[in-house]
Amino acid sequence: MPRIVDEAIRTAYSKQGVAVLTIPDDIPAHMIADNFNANVDNFKIEDYQVDDKEIKAALELMKIHSNPIVLAGTGIRNAKKETLDFIEKFKLPIIQTMPAKGMVADDHPYNLGQLGKLGTKAAYEMMQKADLLIMLGTDYPYAPYLNHKIDAIQVDINGDKLGKRHRVNVAIQGETQKVLKRMIELGDEVKERPFLNTAISHMAQWRSWMKDVYSKNHEGVLPSKMFHDLSTTAQDNAVFSIDVGTSTAFGARFIDAKPTQKYTISAWLGTMGCALPGAIASKMVLPDRPVYAVAGDGAFSMVMQDFATAVRYKLPMVITVLNNKLLAFIEYEQQSAGQQNYGISLPDIDFAKFAEACGGIGERITTNEQYAEAIEKYKNTDRPVVLDVAVTDEAPLPGKIVMDEAKGYAKFGMGHLIDKKSMPELPPMKEILRSFL
């Protein structure tokens, strides 16, 4: 047993993550001889040295390509300043994976947001126009969204990640911070890059479109507007714990995260119900920082019993529940696959009353104005709060609707017309066309 615990501790440090040790519950009751010699004195985290030959090879590759683009993951967590200096010195547009959101400020002009179904159209288009991909500390799993026709540089401390998602011309195994520092020291500054100017223009257009989305006329609470208001009101040191589903989509587009904030999601976008436990963990680890969790009614109802834990341990936080009595993201996934909707309705639960019954604060929200007031009101709450928000069913369209998705939506629309003798409710046509064309 001591040997396994020792191994788990060493693995957690070396892999920079969580080591889970599962044992039968009767094991701790057994007495054992205290004769284990720990290996802690011999254990060292590997210190990778930066090889200038590799650095110069990467810089040369950057020099001969006119349209380089950066894809950064959580490996830049300890290299936020170096990443910013790197993209500014070499005039590089940057895409961040969802778990890395905000490590370079979302509102930085070089930042194109995320890539993929939940990403921006600007990121999709500039990835296709790029001629060099620079991957920094990322194991980006959605490889079809990468441009596989172009050269690539990859920096990662884990050797098994190098070349895993994309063919790589220059692979550098090492700490991102050290590698970027050396590239900045040895590389020549780029004064002007037309490709970057194009990227900035595309992203400005995208932001203008997103403003149209959250400013449109609506009834009830518009999720896009709600997320925008949360973003503009939250403190500079806030922690966001965002659940899986439409919460992920709206958070990606309408929360402008900052390097001083922390943006927490399910890393592979599949752990439904993660927002509340993520908020509890955040408040335990970072007790002096404000914590905001956002979850759909389906996700929250999977773990809502843990709200009592937040009350029990006096963990002040604000939990927003998007209550539309619907598994909304599944609704749109079914439609994009050409299926008719089924099995997505949820019961009408009063989450505000539930919060009060647990000893917390609960408030029912029916307008965007009420939501903005509530976020301001509970900035300094001394108890956990649930905002039960009656959201309208707003479609989180992909940043770029690809042909397969367009065919799926068309198939769904035709099936709906045949089955129900009516056209389905659609998002505003200009939003559809902006994502498709």
Could you give the 3-state DSSP secondary structure of residue 331? helix
| pLDDT for 427 beyond 70 | no
Please tell me what DSSP assigns to residue 313. Answer: T
Q: How far apart are CA 298 and CA 287, in angstroms?
A: 27
Q: How far apart are CA 302 and CA 327, in angstroms?
A: 12
Domain count, the chain: 3
Q: Give a three-class secondary structure readout of 8-47.
A: HHHHHHHHCCCCCCCCCCCHHHCCCCCCCCCCHHHCCCCC
Q: Are 302 and 359 part of one and the same domain?
A: yes
Q: Are 230 and 301 part of one and the same domain?
A: yes
Cα 292 from chain centre? 15
The answer to the question of residue 322 being in a domain is yes
The answer to the question of residue 166 being in a domain is yes
Q: What percent of the chain clears pLDDT 90, i.e. is strictly above it?
A: 68
Is residue 353 within 8 A of residue 362, CB to CB? The reply is yes
Q: Are 56 and 34 part of one and the same domain?
A: no
Q: Are 263 and 362 part of one and the same domain?
A: yes
Contacts of 413 (CB under 8 A, 6+ apart): 423, 424, 426
H/E stretch holding 4: helix 2-15
Q: Are 196 and 285 part of one and the same domain?
A: no
Q: Are 188 and 238 part of one and the same domain?
A: no
Burial of residue 90 (CB within 10 Å: 0-12, 13-18, 19+) is: buried
Average pLDDT of the chain, as a whole number: 91
Q: Which domain holds residue 101?
A: 52-200
| pLDDT for 429 beyond 70 | no
Q: What is this structure's pTM? A: 0.87
The answer to the question of residue 420 being in a domain is no
Give the CATH number for residue 180.
3.40.50.1220
User: What would the pLDDT profile of 1-32 be if each residue is shown by its tens digit?
Assistant: 888 888 888 888 877 788 999 888 888 888 88
User: What would the pLDDT profile of 284-308 be if each residue is shown by its tens digit?
Assistant: 999 999 999 999 999 999 999 999 9
Q: What percent of the chain clears pLDDT 70, i.e. is strictly above it?
A: 97
The answer to the question of residue 106 being in a domain is yes
Average pLDDT over residues 73-80: 96
User: What would the pLDDT profile of 220-249 be if each residue is shown by its tens digit?
Assistant: 899 999 999 999 999 999 999 999 988 999
- Name the amino acid, one letter, at 26: D
User: What would the pLDDT profile of 101-129 be if each residue is shown by its tens digit?
Assistant: 999 999 999 999 999 888 999 999 999 99
Q: Are 93 and 181 part of one and the same domain?
A: yes
Is residue 146 within 8 A of residue 129, CB to CB? The reply is no
| pLDDT for 428 beyond 90 | no
Q: What one-character-per-residue DSSP string does 407-428 give?
A: HHHHHHHHHHHHHHSSPPP---
Q: Are 32 and 75 part of one and the same domain?
A: no
| pLDDT for 418 beyond 70 | yes
What is the helix, strand, coil percentage profile of the chain, to 5? Answer: 45, 15, 40
Is residue 245 within 8 A of residue 296, CB to CB? The reply is yes
Average pLDDT over residues 76-97: 97
Q: Are 357 and 241 part of one and the same domain?
A: yes
Which of 390, 408, 428 marks a domain boundary? 390
Give the CATH number for residue 235.
3.40.50.970
Q: How far apart are CA 134 and CA 94, in angstroms?
A: 9
